[in-house]
Structures are given as structure tokens and as C-alpha cells.
């Protein structure tokens, strides 16, 4: 199996011997430049048309190195496992064999049992590190969380970033704690029965510290994405790019014991070839699962409303285990907060909430104003456990004006309604950090680019994005450290007063979800939802054998709504 | 059914009343400018956000008109049915109800029975018209042809063009005979038992006379094709573009009794949405078939080697009835003419021919030098009748140096071997006009652009394309009338001498194909091919019930090759 035998990057094999492997097609000559502990230059061998290799001795862990292409400048390794001095510095050798894992008895949970919790390492705690998360795991476990989803931690420029500006997909953000920090966190999670899902970005690379184009045709002019030229997944030399990213998925499973990946915005991963790179990747991962016996999950963020994302290969699908269901959020959000229609103009009816519960995609082929076209296809037959739902997430909060959480927008009662709508749904629920206790601090967009020109562009871009909402008032400056600081969770309020009461509510709902047989059934045909008044609905769940039922009544109006019981009468 | 009720363009309904319908989103105002017989301007009504309509009286057939957008200039109708003065002139109203069809008893042949014959209207006869083809149909019928495939006839600039520079997808080239000329030809074909397949171009529009961008967002900057920005099949406002082309397919079926379409280069029809426009189109056509009871076929030219093109919707396919199998040509061509490797560098082994016969795609996932990547997926399980094969076609001849036909490149014996390899294959065979008698005139690339700058570009482009083959010798000037003239078939040689003998050979092979039960079986698993020496192979076909077998022995070497009979011993 190629993907397990010849990975990219630097690998210590034994006795300080290290093999370096690099994809650099069309390059005549590559040198390995060891920077420390003892400087030297080693010419690399061209292995085939596209790859270079060098194997050297006296190369302990933490050895720093660059590559030199055709007598050019020092460049960090695109497949660097560690960038201890940031995106512009040398790459560091990591010994992936030596970490003292203590999670041998860990087995991944079935996906259907997941209670997901999305967190951003930098703002989850004051310290903003992997290490600082560990003491907080008991609180999450107590809440009922059994899987955390970590926003991207691949090395990005500076120390403050959502993570989607990452430029070293194999490296672990040094300021978060680097490779060992992540391993410590995963090991601790596993020992507490918590799975770890990692958010990865395979649709673009960030604008700063991106040395990829120097190495080869990673990008193609054939397709444009919101970030510029698309990654080259189907053009000449695309095999190297396909393997770079497909093997990256395996990298996290093998070396960091990650239990699943959440792929960012797969609609911007463009491939018109015979085998879509996402299928190619998922096939590789299937072989990894076969080979190792481990269970790992692939979850997509998709803006396509296309069932092919989660269909299997035989039916022309990409083979993801699950995908995010944004429509569930949008349908519910605009009912909870009608002013939200300014952002989600095509939502706001009760019927859409019904469709979100019973079919999945709310837009399944009809004309959508915001898109100026007919959009989506039906997901009616798709099992509910193939969808991850949420009432808040980094994107819906962070890209709303003022980084407003639901707490800022709706009443405490509505927060509870949102929680119940989420946790009693026939889908995989995901909380956004702080949601469970009504965190009042915002989640804003923040960056810490070194390049002043880029920083100015980011500022201007944000202002433009929010003009529609905020008029000429600029949104908080993404580059300001204070913007970042203002987003750090306030753990001090978590168990107090109304926060504590909301936390209990979440905890009880999660406990109910884990216990009640009717809530274990992901067959959407067994979920009924009835509109019983304006802003009021009944949700009826039942188990597969129809022995057990659960009825939940929701009322967003300010008046009592009559409802006859039992519901079938 | 929207697609049958409100088509684009000008439609005479009754008593000289005519309805004009135009897609022009984002336009405030559109006027219909009737140019003749009596000039007048009629404001058009905005029907919904995207469409304008006008219904007027006193509008007989051949009325000439333009549209005027937001007080701009006269522009021809993108959905014009006729451009009697060429691409820059006014559009003409066609009365599609009045043609005296005499093909009521015609029923399309089963696709599996097709013996296709590709022809170019301009060079098939001296006259270069639809009308001039009709007297030649008996010769084709006598040969055994039961389906002609006409290279594109949508209105193109000038009078000499392969057809892929068309800019009015609903119009019929005026210099070929216009709408009635095409109807006469189709009616005559049907009366002789010959089906008519039309080559249509839905991946781009030509560079001259292209007024589309004035009307709306027909193109998108998101994707690039060899011809520039791609047609907009998935972006904002793409519904209008999707319907424009999907309804175009129906246009040919409804008004011209066309029996099937061959879609040019569908790999350049880019769509990342939930429902690919090709699926959308084929679904519309399926409804047309249901509705009318007529049988029509959709055939794709695809450079993807992707089975999804010909798979059904349920398995994630686009739902084409068949696609061209270029690999069959390439595998055979380089065996017949080893110098051909300079164009088809990844072909040339006997094993590839075996794979072409028994699987279909020769490149089904392996690395292909010319593409610098792994390419294709397996078509092993696909029924043979889903592939159209050829040993020559307009592209392989016309884009080879000097427009050389196989006649110029290989011996008479090899021409016969090629014919047998083609006509005994488990695929739908297609001949290229003149192939059947070894036409000696070339088929060169020719154009007749008015715009001198564009003409110079085309010349330079061709020279660049052929530099690799021809060095600094320029290829024949595409703009020269003599280039076009040199390509007109020489019917005078057809039945004479070696030409007549080759014609008989084709005729006998076709007769055998139509008669022999083993040649009716398109299950590739029942086709065997054995290499029996260098350049020699045995082809064994059998019928589905294994009652009847056919053995054909091929020998490209200059020596006898022993072969034991029966082959299984």
C-alpha cells in the first residue's frame, strides 16, 4: 500500500536515520538543507519523474531543514510535520514513532452515537493551547459530549486565526503546542471516552506562507474558487496533488489517532475527472480501515445540497460518512430569530422546518433567491445519521454581524427551544463551544497576518462583506489582538445563574437522547413533525420497532397552543 | 411540460400571429425590432425576472427581426431559428408547423442496429448543401448505412466551417439550405430507412457573431475551457442557460425529426451543482420520449474515460445512451500505422487492442504520459452498444497532419483490416464519409471568418498546433477557399478499381454484421480476442445463447501466422 509505505515529509526510521520525500515535478535538482543541529546540504535523488528523496543519518528529532529547488532560496517543506518558528521558518523533523500513547483500549464510537462539540483551540481557554483543553474535558464529558471537533490546526500565519488560512496541511500549529500537544490532547480525550474529529482544509491554502507554487503545479487556472485558482485535482501532474491531500487524511489517523475528519467546503474541491479526488481519498481511507481495523469517519462541509456527497461509490457518490446540514440551521434560525432573514432570505417558513426534519435538504431543486437559480436535489431517502446538525457553529456565528451568538439574539426560552430542536432531531447533533451555557462573548473573525498589505486586504474584505448589515460601521478589526481576546470563552459564568440552568437543560437533553430508544432511530420516515399553530410544532419520534415513542411540543409564539393528545386522535 | 409549451425564439401560433420569447435576465427593457416586411418596434413584456415576451400579429414566416436591449443596438436572437443573411444579420421567423412531412411511418432503428456514417454537409458533395445529399442516399443505403451523423449545422460565420464555431444553436446554416433544407434531408432519409443523428455543440459558442454575452450571464469566470470562459451551467442565473441548451435538444427532435444528438466534447460542459446539466437535459429528453412515444438517442463525445457519462441516473450517471470510444481508434490506429505514435504516444501495444475490445476504455486509471496523470476508470461492465467506434472520423483525420485519411497512411490491405476490426467489433460502428471507398482527398481544417484578426489567429493557432509534426512548414491555410475545396469528396472514383473493391469489402462486412447472430451480441464478456503473434490476433464473437460463433483472424505482419482450429483446442 503506497499510502502507508512512502509518505511525504521527513520520517525517522531508526537510529537517527531519516528519510525525506518530496513531490517536486519538473524540478531538475533539489537539495536538502539541514539547518540545525549541524548545518549541511544533501543533494536529493530523483526517484521518478515527480519525486525526490534523501536518506541521511545523524538526524534526530527536531532537526531543522529547508529544501532548495534548482539553486533557489531556502523553502520550508510543504509536507512539514512541524514549523516551530512559524510559516516562514524551517521545517522540523518529528519522530512519529516515539509518542507514549496510552489509548490502546480506545475504540471509536459509532457515528450514530456522536454528540459533537466544535471548538477553536485558541479561544476555548485563556491559554489557547491543546494542553489547556485537557482539564476542561471532564466538564464536556459531564455535559454528555463524546466527540470534540477541533477547528483547523494545520500551521497558519501568526498565532491568531480560525485555521482556514493554514499553509502546512501536515503540520500542527506551533503556538497551540505543536505535534506533541495535539497527541497529548487526543490521548487524554481517548482516555475519557471522547473521540476527536479534526477540521481539515483541502480546498485552498492560505495567502501567507504559501510556498506551494514554488514546488509544482498544485494549482490550476482551469477553475476559480473564492480564494483564487483551485487546487489542481484533475489537470496535468494532479496525481501528486491528489496524493498529497489524500495521504494527509491518513497522516492524522496514523500519527495523531484522530477519529475522523471534517473537510472544509468540499464544493470548492473541483474535479471533472473519471474518479473525483474525494472518492479517491475516501477509497484510500476505506483501505486504511480494512488494513488497520480502526474506525474513522469522513464528514464533509458541502454547499451543494447534493446527495452524491454522502452516497456510496456504487451510486456515483463520494462516499462520505456524513455531511453538515446547513439547511437545518437556517430553517430553525429564522424561526427563532425572524430578523435573521436578512442573512437567510430564502428561509422562514414552518414548512421548511418540517422539510429539514423529514427530508434533510430544504432546498432540493427549487429556485433559491440568494443563489439566483434552482438549487439542490432531494435527500429524502438518506439516513439521518448521515447529517450533522447544529443551531450554531463557528461559521454561522462568526460570519454573522458582531459575531453574535444565539444568546445575543433570542430569549432564554428560545435558547432552550433551539437546544431541544437540535438534540431531539434524527441527526447527529453538534454544539458550538459555549453554546451549552449561553456564552455571551462573541465569536468574531480574527487573523494575525505579518504582511501589512494582506492585513489591510483582510480588513477591507470583512468590511465589504458586512456592508449590507452594518452600513459604514466597520466590523471589529480582524487583525487586532483585542478582537481575538474578546472571543475567549468565559468559563467563570458557565455554571452560574441562567447559564447554569441552560447547561442543565443541555445536559438533560443529551442524557435523554442517549437513553431514549425513539431517539436512536435515524430513519427519517419514522420522524413526524406537525405544525400545530403559528410557530408551534409537535415532533414525534419512535424507535424502529415502534415500541417506544417520544413526543416533544415546541411553541415559539407568546400564547398557549392547544394540542390534542394522543397525537393520532 | 414547460419545455414543450414555452420555447425560446419566435413561434407562429396561428394566422400570422407570432410569439417571441427571450431570456434576458437583468435587462430592464427589451424591444422587438421588426425589420421586414414592415418595420416596427414592439416593446416586450417582462414575464418574470428573467424572460421577455411579445406576441404580435401580421408576422408571416420569413419576417426579419432584431432585439434591442436597454436602448442598445440591433442584435439577432440567440434562439433564432434562421439567419438568412448570416451571423451578423437579422433573425428570421420560421413557421415550424407547415412543413409537409412524409415520414409518418418512420420508426427510429434500435441503437444496436446502427451503422453510422459521419458526414460534413459542405464537403460531402460539390454543391455543399442538404439538398445535394439526397441523391446520394441510395449509395449509402446500398452500402448498408442506416444512420447518418451530420457534423454541426447550427449557424456559423461564413460558409466554410466544420461547424464547431456555430453561434446560433437553434438556427440551420443558411448556406447549407436553412431550415427547409434540413427538413427535406431528414424526410428523405426517413423515407429511405435512414436515421439522422445531429452533432450539436453545447460546450462553447464560436468566436465570431457571438452576441450571447449582451443578453445575459451565459458564461462564467469560474471555469475555463479551451475556448475561454465556460458556459454558465451552475452559477447565478444558470437556469436560463441550462434550459436554453436542454430545450435546444428538444428543438431538433420536435421540429426537424432528428433521431438523436451527438454532443460535442461534453468534458468541457462543467457543472458542480447537485444535478449536472447533462443529467438535467437527458431527464427532459426522457420526458419527451415518454410524452411523444418517439425514440431518440443521446450520444456523447467524452474525453473523460468516465463510465458516469453512459451510466444511468440511479448510479450517478449522466444517462447518455452511448459515447464515442476514442481509445478503440487510438489502439487500432497505432497498430495499423506505427508512426501514429507521435500523436498517440500512449498507444501501440497489442494488449491495448485486446483491452479496447473486451473492456472499452484502454486507459482506465493508469498513468498516461500525454496527460501527465492517472486517467480514466474501467468500463469493463458496460454493454458494448453504449460505445460508438470508428477507425477514422472528422477529428482524427482533420486534426492529423495534412488532414491525412487512413488511405494516405497505410496499405490497401490494412484499410481492409481496419474495416473488419471496426465492423466485427461488439460496438456501434461509425464510418467517416469517403472511408468506405478509400477517398484520397484529405479532410482539413477550414474556416471562413470575416474578421481578419480572428482569421489570423486561427491560422496562427493551427500552425502552433502542428509545429510538433510539421516543423516550420505551415499547415494548409484554414481560411483559403482552396483548402475547403480540396476536401470535397471525389464521388467519381467511388466504384472504380481499388476504390470499388474496398467499397465491396465494406458492403460485405456490413451485410455480415447485420446478418450474423454472433455480431448482434453486445455483451463484451462474450467477445474474446487472442494475440496469436506479433501484429496478429483472433477475434471470436458468439451470440448470447452460444449457438453461433464467428472467428475472424487478423494479421498485420508480412508473414503467415499459424493458428490452430478450432480455437479452443
A564 falls in which pLDDT band (50, 70, 90)? confident
Minimal Cβ distance to B221: which of A224, A235, A272: A224
**Which residues in A lie closer than 8 A to residue B277 (C-beta atoms)?**
none
C-alpha cell at A418: 433551539
Instruction: Pick the closest to residue A225 from A264, A198, A199, A262 (CA basis).
Output: A264
- Cross-chain residue pair A365–B270, CB shorter than 8 Å: no
What are the per-10-residue average pLDDT scores of chain B (569 residues)? 67 91 95 96 93 96 97 95 97 96 98 98 98 98 98 97 97 98 98 98 96 96 96 97 97 98 98 98 97 97 98 96 98 97 96 97 97 97 97 94 93 97 98 98 95 90 77 84 98 97 98 97 94 94 94 95 75
For residue B40, being part of any structural domain is answered with yes
Instruction: Pick the closest to residue B359 from B420, B423, B305 (CA basis).
Output: B305
Minimal Cβ distance to A272: which of B270, B311, B372: B270
> Of the listed B208, B301, B326, B477, which one is catalytic?
B301
**Does residue A25 sit in the same domain as residue A133?**
no
What strand order describes the sheet that includes A219-225? A228-231, A219-225, B219-225, B228-231
Q: For residues A193 and A5, what is the distance between their CA atoms, to the nearest angstrom?
A: 30
What digits encode the pLDDT tens for the residues A348-385?
999 999 999 999 999 999 999 999 999 999 999 999 99
Instruction: Pick the closest to residue B76 from B95, B93, B61 (CA basis).
Output: B93
C-alpha cell at B534: 506479433
**Does residue A82 sit in the same domain as residue A123?**
no
Q: For residues A339 and B6, what is the distance between their CA atoms, to the nearest angstrom?
A: 38
For residue A546, being part of any structural domain is answered with no
- Cross-chain residue pair A275–B377, CB shorter than 8 Å: yes
- Is some CB atom of chain A closer than 8 A to the CB atom of B262? no
Q: Which of A481, A501, A518 is the last residue of a domain?
A: A518
**Does residue A164 sit in the same domain as residue A67?**
no
Active site residue B264: yes
**Does residue A54 sit in the same domain as residue A163?**
no
What digits encode the pLDDT tens for the residues A70-107?
989 999 999 999 999 999 999 999 999 999 999 999 99
The ipTM (two decimal places) reads 0.94
**Which residues in B lie closer than 8 A to residue A26 (C-beta atoms)?**
none
What digits encode the pLDDT tens for the residues A314-350?
999 999 999 999 999 999 999 999 999 999 999 999 9
Q: Which residue from B minimizes the CA distance to A269?
A: B272
Tell me A379's DSSP state: -
Minimal Cβ distance to B316: which of A234, A304, A315: A315
Q: Measured between CA atoms, how close is B228 to chain A, in angstroms?
A: 10
Q: For residues B327 and B307, what is the distance between their CA atoms, to the nearest angstrom?
A: 14
For residue B469, the tally of other CB atoms under 10 A from its CB is 13
pLDDT on residue B251: 97
**Does residue A158 sit in the same domain as residue A258?**
yes
If residue B40 lies in a helix (H) or strand (E), which one and from where to where? strand B40-43
Q: Which residue from B minimizes the CA distance to A50?
A: B372
For residue A569, being part of any structural domain is answered with no
For residue B66, being part of any structural domain is answered with yes
A567 falls in which pLDDT band (50, 70, 90)? low
- Is some CB atom of chain B closer than 8 A to the CB atom of A270? yes
- Is some CB atom of chain A closer than 8 A to the CB atom of B377? yes
Q: For residues A56 and A60, what is the distance between their CA atoms, to the nearest angstrom?
A: 10
Number of residues in chain B: 569
> Of the listed B95, B199, B259, B264, which one is catalytic?
B264
**Which residues in A lie closer than 8 A to residue B228 (C-beta atoms)?**
none
- Cross-chain residue pair A365–B275, CB shorter than 8 Å: yes
- The chain-wide mean pLDDT, for chain A, equals 95
Lowest mean pLDDT among A30-44, A453-467, B248-262, B546-560: A453-467
- Cross-chain residue pair A375–B307, CB shorter than 8 Å: no
**Does residue A58 sit in the same domain as residue A143?**
no
**Does residue A259 sit in the same domain as residue A219?**
yes
- Cross-chain residue pair A274–B304, CB shorter than 8 Å: yes
Under 8 Å between Cβ of B196 and B185: yes
pLDDT on residue B5: 56
For residue A97, being part of any structural domain is answered with no
For residue B77, being part of any structural domain is answered with yes
A residues 284-313 near B, CB within 8 Å? 304-308, 311
Site of grid cell 505543536? A178
Instruction: Pick the closest to residue B79 from B172, B175, B178 (CA basis).
Output: B172
**Does residue A274 sit in the same domain as residue A403?**
yes
What digits encode the pLDDT tens for the residues A209-235?
999 999 999 999 999 999 999 999 999
For residue A537, being part of any structural domain is answered with no
**Does residue A447 sit in the same domain as residue A478?**
yes
Select the residue from A229, A345, A370, A373 to test the B interface by mutation, using most B Cβ atoms within 10 A: A373
Looking at the DSSP assignment, which residues form a beta bridge with residue A17?
A14
Site of grid cell 434500435? B110
Tally of domains in chain B: 1
Gyration radius of chain A's alpha carbons:
24
Minimal Cβ distance to A306: which of B274, B305, B374: B274
CATH classification at residue A454: 3.20.20.80
pLDDT on residue A1: 36
Write out the catalytic residue numbers of A: 264, 301
Q: What's CA A426's distance to the chain center, in Å?
A: 21
**Does residue A426 sit in the same domain as residue A508?**
yes
- Cross-chain residue pair B373–A275, CB shorter than 8 Å: no
Evaluated on CA atoms B93, B97, B98, B100, the torsion sign reads positive
**Does residue A9 sit in the same domain as residue A133?**
no
pLDDT at A5 over 90: no
If residue B397 lies in a helix (H) or strand (E), which one and from where to where? helix B394-398
Minimal Cβ distance to A315: which of B314, B365, B376: B314
C-alpha cell at B489: 469528396
| Segments forming the whole domain that contains residue A380 | 114-518
pLDDT on residue A559: 93
For residue A455, being part of any structural domain is answered with yes
Under 8 Å between Cβ of B354 and B531: yes
B residues 203-222 near A, CB within 8 Å? 221-222
Select the residue from A313, A372, A381 to test the B interface by mutation, using most B Cβ atoms within 10 A: A372
Q: How many CB pairs under 8 A join A and B?
A: 81
Under 8 Å between Cβ of A155 and A171: yes
CATH classification at residue A9: 2.60.40.10
- Cross-chain residue pair B236–A373, CB shorter than 8 Å: yes
**Which residues in B lie closer than 8 A to residue A306 (C-beta atoms)?**
273-275
What's phi and psi for B499, nearest 5 deg? -65, -45
**Which residues in A lie closer than 8 A to residue B371 (C-beta atoms)?**
236
Site of grid cell 480525550? A189
Amino acid at each position: 500500500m503506497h499510502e502507508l509505505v512512502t509518505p511525504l515529509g521527513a520520517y525517522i526510521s531508526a537510529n537517527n536515520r531519516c528519510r525525506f520525500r518530496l513531490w517536486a515535478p519538473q524540478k531538475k535538482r533539489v537539495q536538502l538543507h539541514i539547518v540545525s543541529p549541524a548545518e549541511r546540504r544533501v543533494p536529493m535523488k530523483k526517484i521518478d519523474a515527480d519525486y525526490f528523496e534523501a536518506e541521511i543519518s545523524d538526524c534526530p528529532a527536531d532537526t531543522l531543514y529547508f529544501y532548495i529547488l534548482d539553486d533557489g532560496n531556502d523553502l520550508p517543506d510543504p509536507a512539514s510535520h512541524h514549523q516551530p518558528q512559524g510559516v516562514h521558518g524551517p521545517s522540523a523533523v518529528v519522530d512519529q514513532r516515539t509518542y507514549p500513547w496510552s489509548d490502546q483500549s480506545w475504540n471509536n464510537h459509532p457515528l450514530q452515537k456522536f454528540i459533537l462539540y466544535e471548538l477553536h483551540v485558541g479561544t476555548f481557554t485563556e491559554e489557547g493551547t491543546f494542553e489547556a483543553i485537557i482539564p476542561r474535558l471532564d466538564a464536556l464529558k459531564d455535559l454528555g459530549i463524546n466527540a470534540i471537533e477541533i477547528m483547523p490546526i494545520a500551521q497558519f500565519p501568526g498565532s491568531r486565526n480560525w485555521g482556514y488560512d493554514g499553509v502546512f496541511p501536515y503540520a500542527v500549529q506551533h503556538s497551540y503546542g505543536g505535534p506533541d500537544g495535539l497527541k497529548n490532547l487526543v490521548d487524554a480525550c481517548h482516555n475519557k471516552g471522547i473521540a476527536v474529529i479534526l477540521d481539515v482544509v483541502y480546498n485552498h491554502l492560505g495567502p501567507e506562507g504559501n510556498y506551494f507554487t514554488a514546488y509544482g503545479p498544485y494549482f490550476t487556472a482551469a477553475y476559480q474558487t473564492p480564494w483564487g485558482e483551485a487546487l489542481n485535482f484533475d489537470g496535468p501532474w494532479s496525481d501528486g496533488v491528489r496524493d498529497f491531500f489524500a495521504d494527509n487524511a491518513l497522516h492524522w489517523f496514523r500519527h495523531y489517532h484522530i477519529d475522523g475528519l471534517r473537510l472544509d467546503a468540499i464544493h470548492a474541491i473541483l474535479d471533472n475527472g473519471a474518479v473525483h479526488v474525494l472518492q479517491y481519498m475516501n477509497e484510500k481511507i476505506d483501505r486504511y480501515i480494512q488494513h488497520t481495523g480502526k474506525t474513522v469517519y469522513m464528514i464533509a462541509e458541502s454547499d451543494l445540497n447534493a446527495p452524491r456527497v454522502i452516497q456510496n461509490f456504487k451510486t456515483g457518490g463520494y462516499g462520505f460518512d456524513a455531511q453538515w446540514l446547513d439547511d437545518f440551521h437556517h430553517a430553525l434560525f429564522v424561526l427563532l430569530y425572524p430578523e435573521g432573514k436578512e442573512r437567510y432570505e430564502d428561509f422562514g417558513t414552518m414548512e421548511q422546518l418540517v422539510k429539514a426534519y423529514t427530508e434533510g435538504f430544504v432546498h432540493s431543486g427549487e429556485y433559491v433567491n440568494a443563489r439566483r437559480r434552482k438549487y439542490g436535489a432531494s435527500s429524502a431517502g438518506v439516513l439521518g445519521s448521515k447529517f450533522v446538525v447544529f443551531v450554531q457553529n463557528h461559521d454561522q456565528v462568526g460570519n454573522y454581524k458582531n459575531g453574535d451568538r444565539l444568546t445575543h439574539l433570542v430569549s432564554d426560552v428560545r435558547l432552550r427551544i433551539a437546544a431541544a430542536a437540535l438534540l431531539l432531531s434524527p441527526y447527529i447533533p453538534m454544539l458550538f463551544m459555549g453554546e451549552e451555557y449561553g456564552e455571551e462573548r462573541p465569536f468574531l473573525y480574527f487573523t494575525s497576518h505579518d504582511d501589512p498589505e494582506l492585513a489591510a486586504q483582510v480588513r477591507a474584505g470583512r468590511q465589504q462583506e458586512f456592508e449590507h448589515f452594518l452600513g459604514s460601521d466597520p466590523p471589529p478589526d480582524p487583525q487586532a489582538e483585542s478582537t481575538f481576546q474578546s472571543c475567549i470563552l468565559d468559563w467563570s459564568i458557565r455554571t452560574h445563574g441562567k447559564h447554569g440552568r441552560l447547561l442543565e437543560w443541555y445536559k438533560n437533553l443529551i442524557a435523554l437522547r442517549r437513553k431514549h430508544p425513539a431517539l436512536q432511530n435515524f430513519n427519517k420516515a419514522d420522524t413526524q413533525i406537525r405544525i400545530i399553530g403559528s410557530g408551534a410544532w409537535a415532533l414525534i419520534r419512535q424507535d424502529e420497532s415502534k415500541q417506544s415513542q417520544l413526543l416533544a411540543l415546541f411553541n415559539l409564539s407568546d400564547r398557549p397552543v392547544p394540542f390534542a393528545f394522543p397525537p393520532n386522535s
